[in-house]
Amino acid sequence: MKAGAYRGHVLETPSDKSLGDACKIIPEWNLRDVASSSPDYFLDHLRHRATTTLEQQYARGCDGRPGDHHHIVEMVEKKGLRPVRRFPNCYTFFIDGDKYGQSFEITNDHAGAMAAFRPAINAGLCLPQSTGQLILDRQSTILQLLFGMMEDVLEAGQTTALAKHHSRRPQKAEEDGGEKPTPVAVNLPDLVSAAADQMSAYNEHLALLREEPVVLAYAVNITFFSRPELVPDDRGRILPAYTAKYIAGAVLEAVYSAVRGAVTWSCICRLLEELEEDKSSNNRTRRATIAQELANLCDTEYTRTQGLLRRHVSTSPGLSKWFRRVPSSTKDGAAKVVLGKKDTEPLMREDPQLHHILRLCQPRITSAQSVDWIEKLDALHRSHPEERDNLEPRVADALSDLAAVVGFTQALSKIMTIPAASRKKGQFLVAGLTQIEDEVNALRTKIDLSEFALPIDNLQRPDMAAGALRALDQQILENMGATIGDLHEGLVAEWTKSLHERIQEAQTSQAAQSEAHSVVHAPAGADTETTPDWRAQVRKQKVKTRPAGTAPYDITPVTKDATVEDVPEAKKPVEMHNINPRAAATFAALFTRSENRKPIPWVAFQAAMADMGFSVLPRYGSVYTFAPPAPLVSCGPITLHRPHKSEIEGYRLLYIARRLTRKYGWTGRMFESGGNEET
């Protein structure tokens, strides 16, 4: 009970007044009666709420006692319970059907309306909204508390059954009283698998941007309406909300962000694989070289995801007042958003969710320091799930992305000593990525995609989306000397060669070690004295000498046979027997190619994965890891973000279906028979 309550506060007894009016609204939810009585006390209340309708609970309570209506009216009349807010001329109806709990305001002819309502009033089915709201608060609060407790019980039971593979014991947070996600014992193979899964997630997102016009249009809209220019400056001024000149830049930013994430995690994977290959030796210098590269990459990825969180929070309705836009000193002249000077401490009590999020937006908060704030936010969301639902979807997604980076970095620090990020050592890749980013940002106002993306909704048409991406890549090629895919493929190739050279140096002599650790390695063309035109010419020559083929980070769509499901050969065939009909129905809906896909509840997806033998392991920030059963262990676990308001819909259906196909070779045909046939 304490683990599921905000800050661990629960009524000690039915008359405990420490939580204000809670003792009048939900007196039965107290530690003495629930924890000290026989199990029947709790089970009777659970059975009553789980097996009766809201209308029945309104009329009668557990074991024939008075219902929620009688309880609240009695508390109002005898115990002085008062509503937080008054609703003049507003009434709530508690009638069977979809209109249960709906409220109406009488704006004219009050006497006539009251005469019409009289039968419902006499029957106790129409109440002033101030009283009706208290009844709804009681019902929703009890249901949320029961749901949270049962969710914890089921997770604990599932984890216990799979304890041979994963250990997850609830730990109570001393400060916030909430249950923290249990740190899982990690090793190097686990981290390699986790990094590969993150890389796969970004690769799939990039593929969706290339191939699905609806996904591209959504990403561009999100980027366009989160522009720093929409944040007020010191004088409260904002730039025009809808200006055509920013649309092409939004397309560029949306695509580049996906490429940048895919490249970063691909390189993190390579570094971890280098460590895994070297685990038998004890070459400390070699490990130190790789560790510094990992530290720099994790730090730059944390900074990137934190910047995206700050961007989305600062442009969310009602939150821009906590930020201000300042002139940028960068060459591209892009606006910069910083936290204002307002004191955020009062928010700790008034709006703890906003307080924690603003803390995570502070540039001085490091990845290690952010762990505490993510844990606090996680505990708040478990005890008050409606708080997370109040977030904008883009903010919730940005929080999950940040939590994934922080969780990975924390796990990495448990298996090896990670140095602080350095501006001198191991900078080849980071410097190259920074240079490309600066050049890309400089093109934001130069790119012209008006033929395809004006207005943005034009991108939902396949011909327009494909045309926009080709035009974008062509203009990048003309200005930077290579397409965006070739730019990053070339950088990664040079970095890989440089890394192996430095590792070789570290293995040959101590003198070479000193030299390797003292020299700043930067990619060719990273000299700030060179001009963009010169770098473009150099890149053109390098592209000519590179083997022909599709670059892994290309943004232009590739024509495919729509009738063939894109399943990696390494994942064929997949042998699954006796698929649970319930799971089959859920996955059939997930993999359907219909344009009118219906949303799938997250709990239904979790249950379907559990039916397939997966263990469900919650992580920080609505990040969930699904660990596969024995037949699929070699494929590794898959990590997914719980969607906003816990419903998988829209492009997320495509995304998760494609991730499962890539990871385990699952296709829609596996589930078409309802799970009754072997595949």
Amino acid in position 245? K
pLDDT at 398 over 50: yes
Are 381 and 178 a contacting pair, CB within 8 Å?
A: no
- From residue 192, give the alpha-carbon distance in Å to each of 27, 319, 391, 658, 662: 50, 38, 32, 21, 17
* 3-state SS, one letter per residue, for 301-315: HHHHHHHHHHHHHHC
Q: Which range has the worst mean pLDDT, 5-19, 29-43, 263-277?
A: 5-19
- What is the mean predicted confidence (pLDDT) over 397-418? 91
pLDDT number for residue 165: 37
Residues 138 and 57: their CA atoms lie apart, in Å, by: 11
**pLDDT above 90 covers what percent of the chain?**
37
Are 520 and 432 a contacting pair, CB within 8 Å?
A: no
pLDDT number for residue 576: 57
Per-residue pLDDT band for 173 (boundaries 50, 70, 90) equals: very low
pLDDT number for residue 172: 34
* 3-state SS, one letter per residue, for 39-50: HHHHHHHHHHHH
pLDDT at 170 over 80: no
Are 672 and 653 a contacting pair, CB within 8 Å?
A: no
Closest residue by Cα to residue 95 from 128, 56, 50, 138: 56
Distinct helix (H) and strand (E) counts, the chain = 25, 12
Write the DSSP symbol of residue 504: H
Are 158 and 378 a contacting pair, CB within 8 Å?
A: no
Q: Is the pTM of this model over 0.75?
A: no
Question: Which parts of 162-244 fold into alpha helices (H)?
Answer: 188-211, 213-224
Per-residue pLDDT band for 404 (boundaries 50, 70, 90) equals: very high
Per-residue pLDDT band for 495 (boundaries 50, 70, 90) equals: very high
pLDDT number for residue 383: 84
pLDDT number for residue 164: 39
pLDDT number for residue 544: 58
pLDDT number for residue 218: 92
Terminal-residue alpha carbon distance, the chain: 44
pLDDT number for residue 274: 86
Residues 285 and 517: their CA atoms lie apart, in Å, by: 9
Per-residue pLDDT band for 82 (boundaries 50, 70, 90) equals: confident
pLDDT number for residue 305: 96
Are 434 and 260 a contacting pair, CB within 8 Å?
A: no
Domain ranges of the chain: 6-161, 188-545, 569-671
Residues 567 and 293: their CA atoms lie apart, in Å, by: 33
Parallel, antiparallel or unpaired: strands 171-172 and 102-105: unpaired
pLDDT at 582 over 70: yes
CA atoms within 13 A on the CB side of 60: 8
Residues 440 and 330: their CA atoms lie apart, in Å, by: 13
- What is the mean predicted confidence (pLDDT) over 262-271? 95
pLDDT digits (tens, 9 = 90+) for 318-368: 787 889 888 765 555 667 888 888 888 888 888 999 999 999 999 889 999
Q: Which H/E stretch holds residue 641?
A: strand 638-641
pLDDT number for residue 507: 66
Both tokens of 181, joined, read: 């996600």
**pLDDT, greater one: 107 or 354:** 354
pLDDT number for residue 185: 52
- What is the mean predicted confidence (pLDDT) over 7-16? 83
Closest residue by Cα to residue 102 from 121, 83, 125: 125
Residues 335 and 253: their CA atoms lie apart, in Å, by: 14
pLDDT at 539 over 90: no
pLDDT at 474 over 80: yes
pLDDT number for residue 265: 95
pLDDT number for residue 150: 80
Mean of pLDDT over the chain: 82
CA atoms within 13 A on the CB side of 359: 20
Both tokens of 601, joined, read: 């509840």
Q: Which range has the worst mean pLDDT, 67-81, 331-345, 421-435?
A: 331-345
Closest residue by Cα to residue 668 from 595, 561, 564: 564
Residues 149 and 153: their CA atoms lie apart, in Å, by: 6
pLDDT number for residue 538: 72
**pLDDT, greater one: 7 or 621:** 621
**pLDDT, greater one: 74 or 541:** 74
pLDDT number for residue 202: 94
What contacts 459, CB < 8 A, 6 or more positions away?
213, 216, 217, 220, 251, 452, 453, 465, 468
- What is the mean predicted confidence (pLDDT) over 528-537? 64
**pLDDT, greater one: 85 or 428:** 428
Both tokens of 581, joined, read: 């009909």
pLDDT number for residue 293: 92
**pLDDT, greater one: 505 or 391:** 391
Are 499 and 428 a contacting pair, CB within 8 Å?
A: yes
Residues 441 and 435: their CA atoms lie apart, in Å, by: 10
